[in-house]
Amino acid sequence: MPYVECCVCEKPIEGQALEMGGRPYCPDCYARVNRNRRSLWWASLLGIGLLVALVALLSFLFGQIRPHLEGPALTLTGVVLALLPALFWLAFFYLQDVREPEPKWLVLGVFLLGALLARAVGLPLIEEVFGAPAWFSAGPVYHLLGAIFVTGFINQFLIYAGVRYTVYNSAEFDERVDGILYGTAAALGYATMGNLEYVVRSGGLDLSVGIIRIAVSALAMASFGGLLGYFLGRCKFEDEPAWWMSTGLALAALLNGLFVFFWEEVTTTRVGLVGGGFNPWYGLLQGAVVAGLTFALLYYLIYRLSRRAPQAGGL
Partner 1 sequence: MSEPSQMQEKPTVSAAQVRSRARRRDRWVSWFVLGLFLLALVVGAVLKTLAESRSVEYRGDGFRLNYPAGWVRRTSLQPPYLFQVEDLGAAPTRTTVTVQRRPLPQHDPLGVVWRDLSIERKSDGQHWAGYRELSLESNAQLDGRTVLHTTFAYVEMEPDPFQLSLPVVMHGEDYLFVGRAGVYILTLTAAEENYDRDRGLFLALARSFREE
Give the residues lining the site for partner 1 (CB under 8 A): 2-10, 17, 23-24, 74, 130-139, 142, 145-146, 149-150, 153-154, 157, 160, 164, 201-206, 209-210, 235, 239, 242-246, 249-250, 253, 273, 275-276, 278
The nearest distance, CB 149 to partner 1, in angstroms, is: 4
List, in sequence order, every residue forming a beta bridge with 24; answer none if it has no partner: 19
The nearest distance, CB 215 to partner 1, in angstroms, is: 17
Which of the 8 DSSP states describes residue 19? E
CA distance 60 to 57: 5
The nearest distance, CB 126 to partner 1, in angstroms, is: 9
CB nearer to partner 1: pick between 159 and 305: 159
Q: How many residues does the chain have?
A: 315
The nearest distance, CB 129 to partner 1, in angstroms, is: 9
DSSP 251-290: HHHHHHHHHHHHHHHHHEEE--SS--EE-HHHHHHHHHHH
CA distance 219 to 227: 13
Pairing state of beta strands 18-20 and 23-25?
antiparallel
User: What kind and span of H or E run contains 142?
Assistant: helix 140-146
The nearest distance, CB 213 to partner 1, in angstroms, is: 10
CB nearer to partner 1: pick between 6 and 90: 6
Contact of 259 with 220, CB cutoff 8 Å: yes
Peptide bond into 133 cis (omega under 30): yes
CB nearer to partner 1: pick between 42 and 149: 149
Amino acid at 111: F
The nearest distance, CB 109 to partner 1, in angstroms, is: 21
CB nearer to partner 1: pick between 100 and 239: 239
CA distances in angstroms from 314 to 55, 179, 272, listed in the order given: 34, 18, 55
CB nearer to partner 1: pick between 104 and 169: 169
Mapping DSSP to helix (H, G, I), strand (E, B) and coil, where does residue 167 land?
helix
Amino acid at 42: W
The nearest distance, CB 250 to partner 1, in angstroms, is: 6
Mapping DSSP to helix (H, G, I), strand (E, B) and coil, where does residue 243 land?
coil
Of 259, 207, 190, nearest to 267 (Cα)? 259
CB nearer to partner 1: pick between 172 and 264: 264
CB nearer to partner 1: pick between 14 and 239: 239
The nearest distance, CB 298 to partner 1, in angstroms, is: 20
CA distance 304 to 159: 25
CB nearer to partner 1: pick between 47 and 152: 152
